[in-house]
Chains A and B, each alone.
Chain A
Amino acid sequence: MAIRCVASRRTLAGLKETSSRLIGFRGIQTFTLPDLPYDYGALEPAISGEIMQIHHQKHHQTYVTNYNNALEQLDQAVSKGDASAVVKLQSAIKFNGAGHVNHSIFWKNLAPVKEGGGEPPKGSLGSAIDTHFGSLEGLVKKMSAEGAAVQGSGWVWLGLDKELKKLVVDTTANQDPLVTKGGSLVPLVGIDVWEHAYYLQYKNVRPEYLKNVWKVINWKYASEIYEKECN
């Protein structure tokens, strides 16, 4: 980091940290595709290995690549004081940046069965779900129905409203993050209902995908986030 002010762009280009890269004098942090904590085929039969591979290596990678490109262009535009260029870049930044963030959460929301995927939540999250939705089944039914009803592309979320201290189910369009539905919302579980998330396996039958995805939902991770936010 200390070389920042002295080194030229070319010498900096060789530097690599685990998830960031220095560009130019200001050292803009860019992003890399996070590894999946399980094999592509490990979520079968709920989600096919073919889908997991394309979803991770193509779709998520593209969000990361395009987000980095947009950030580089933004950096240049900001340095030059080019306000129109800055504004023009906003939609690409929002879309690709949020796509990266959402998918990074999604991979952690999933786990192979033998690593606890599908196991109902215990502890404080389990009780909160029973309180707010009657039962886990009640929550699952609601999220599946709302996910199926999303027109076009989007996500269905279980979130925690940090301020009101209650659980919330909501949907967002395209790659809009949950926080666009409420500033104090923290995502606990997000389910991708873009067609690319299920099409090769379930074709047009999104409800069937939503029925099966619960078998690999990683409630342990959701509980961790919940407990952290509640304390």
Chain B
Amino acid sequence: MMTVAVTAISSPLLLHSQGPNRQLLQWKRNEKRRLPTKVAGSGVITAGFELKPPPYSLDALEPHMSRETLDYHWGKHYRTYIENLNKQIVGTDLDALSLEEVVLLSYNRGNMLPAFNNAAQAWNHEFFWESIQPGGGGKPTGELLRLIERDFGSFEEFLERFKSAAASNFGSGWTWLAYKANRLEVANAVNPLPKEEDKKLVIVKTPNAVNPLVWDYSPLLTIDTWEHAYYLDFENRRAEYINTFMEKLVSWETVNTRLEAAMVRATQREQEGTYTEEEANPDDEEPEVYLDSDIDVSEVD
């Protein structure tokens, strides 16, 4: 799961922490938003993550995702994750890092530190707001469509599998489309002889706060299937929410941009990096690449 990669181009932060996570970051340094550090009277330095508003107003997704939902989902749930994260990390080693760095470090190879839940949920939600847009839906185009057709057979087949994954993710969690470059299917070992076909699109289901960053995949798209994401608009009807998400909300433009960045990153790492085999870590959660489509958990009919 962890690779040590040295790059000469831009210098993304290499983490020199005590911990095992020295992983090339996926998100630019300037995406980290920090409040200016303040020195209070007692000499205590405070800093923290700010709330990131979605790239549209809270009512812009009506009627597919109500303003009321965004008021709670963004205004309460997401806000609470950010606020609690800030309280948790202030004054600790995690305090000076970007959100992605905190996620990766606190994942701690599957033996999560207390900050993981808040950090990962903060990251996941920001990624989620940006995965959708007013007037979304439709079909992907270009290279993204080509890879979807290559790796899933057709766009319709991809859609079917993605929706079934999201519908069958029991409990709270997320379903992702991710770009998996040079990773084997087994315990996230590095592929020693990577070829073009090994850089694949995959559908992954994760529980609770976990996301595919922790396995060094590049997330491209996510749907939040925690009940709070859809309950006010759809009650228990998760399948209907998923359909609406795919037909009216998903921002293929954003997914495409993320794919381009992921492919560039993969090429960069190949060219400059020396992949080293990490020792097998039996504690890592295996990513679930979903296959089953028979059972729907949320629809009565």
Q: Which residues of A contact B (CB under 8 A)?
A: 54, 57-59, 61-62, 65-66, 69-70, 73, 88, 91-92, 95-96, 151-154, 173-175, 194-196, 199-200, 203-204
Contacts and interface: CB of A to CB of B under 8 A. Distances in A.
Interface residues on B, range: 20 to 34
Interface string B234-264: 0110000000000000000000000000000
Contacts of A59: 236
Interface of B: 72, 76-77, 80, 117, 170-173, 207-209, 226-228, 231-232, 235-236, 292, 294-300
Contacts of B297: 62, 66, 95-96
Given A151-B117, A196-B236, A62 B227 contact: no
B228 A199 contact: yes
A70 B298 CA distance: 15
A119 B67 CA distance: 40
Contacts of B226: 152, 195
Contacts, number: 70
Contacts of A199: 227-228, 231-232
Contacts of B227: 153, 194-196, 199
Contacts of A57: 300
Given A54-B235, A196-B227, A88 B292 contact: yes
A196 B170 contact: no
Secondary structure call for the A interface: helix
A61 B231 CA distance: 17
Interface of B is mostly: loop
Contacts of A66: 295-297
A65 B300 contact: yes
B228 A195 contact: yes
Given A174-B170, A175-B170, A195-B227, A58 B208 contact: no
Contacts of B172: 152-153, 195
B231 A200 contact: yes
Contacts of A196: 227, 231, 236
Contact of B295 (A70, A173, A195): A70
A88 B299 CA distance: 21
A230 B278 CA distance: 53
B133 to A, nearest CB: 24
Contact of A152 (B208, B292, B294): B208
A62 B296 CA distance: 9
10 contacts: A62-B299, A66-B296, A151-B117, A151-B209, A152-B171, A152-B208, A153-B171, A173-B171, A174-B171, A203-B72
A54 B77 contact: no
A194 B170 CA distance: 11
B228 A204 contact: yes
A54 B171 CA distance: 17
B231 A62 contact: no
Contacts of B171: 152-154, 173-175, 194
